Every structure is written in C-alpha cells, then in structure tokens.
Amino acid sequence: MAWLPDTNAWIHYLKNPGSRIRAGLERRTPDEIMTCAVVKAELLHGAQKYGVPERRTAIVIETLAPYRSLPFDDAAAEHYARIRHELEESGGRIGPHDLLIAAICLAQGCTLVTGNVAEFRRVRGLGVEDWNAE
C-alpha cells in the first residue's frame, strides 16, 4: 500500500516535530510514502512567503527527498475529469489543487493522508486517512 500526504499533512509535520504525522511516516518505509508535484509546488510556494526563503526551501527539498514524486499525467487527467464532473453535478466542489492531488492518488492507487477529510471524502473511490486522528 502507498500513502500520499497532502500539503496540509506535510505542513503539520514540519511545524510539529512530535506529531502523529511523523509517527505515521516512521511506521512506514520511504517506498510506501509518495509525494507529488502539486504538493511540492504548494510547499515550495509557502517556503517563499515566510522567514528566510532559502532555508525554508532547503528544508522542504530535504524533507521530501526520500519519497517518490508522482506526476500529474494522462491517467490522472482522466480521473480529474471524472471527479470534477461528479462534484459539479452533485453541487460539491473541492479546491483546484486538492482536485489535482486526488486525481493523482486515484491514478496511482495511493491513500491520501490529510486533516481535511470532509473535503476529500466527497471524491468517490478515494482512500482517505487522517493520521492526526489515530
């Protein structure tokens, strides 16, 4: 099984050294944890906004280095189209970056790790876990 922590999960991990996110990562091997280009982009953007951007950027890069980064590819594009259509039809939406992350997870068979369970549960077929609630 593979898990993909979303941006909020990584932020929680970076800000809280004793967090349950850290414990969840430590219970698994780096081969079981994925990241993706969208999560990296959001974290790198955040690093630019506060404090010393060069230092924060280095921390993000070092933190994510052990994990395979999944792309938004054609398979993810097909999932994106289905998810977006279903959510629009039901009147429920999720953020554009979250939609991309969900599509990548579905395309790659990953379980999403997030504190934003309510939003992601709207995506049919997406496995969602909140390691902070464990």
Over its length of 134 residues, how does the chain's per-residue pLDDT go in tens digits?
Answer: 999 999 999 999 999 988 999 999 999 999 999 999 999 999 999 999 988 999 999 999 999 999 999 999 999 999 999 999 999 999 988 999 999 999 999 999 999 999 999 999 999 999 999 999 87
pTM across the whole model: 0.94
Distance of CA 71 to the CA centre of its chain: 12
What is the chain's Cα-based Rg?
15
pLDDT given for residue 14 in this prediction: 94
CB atoms near residue 25 (< 10 Å): 23
- Supply the CATH number for residue 32's domain: 3.40.50.1010
Domain count, the chain: 1
The strand pair at 34-36 and 110-113 is best described as unpaired
C-alpha span between 56 and 116 (Å, rounded): 24
pLDDT given for residue 83 in this prediction: 98
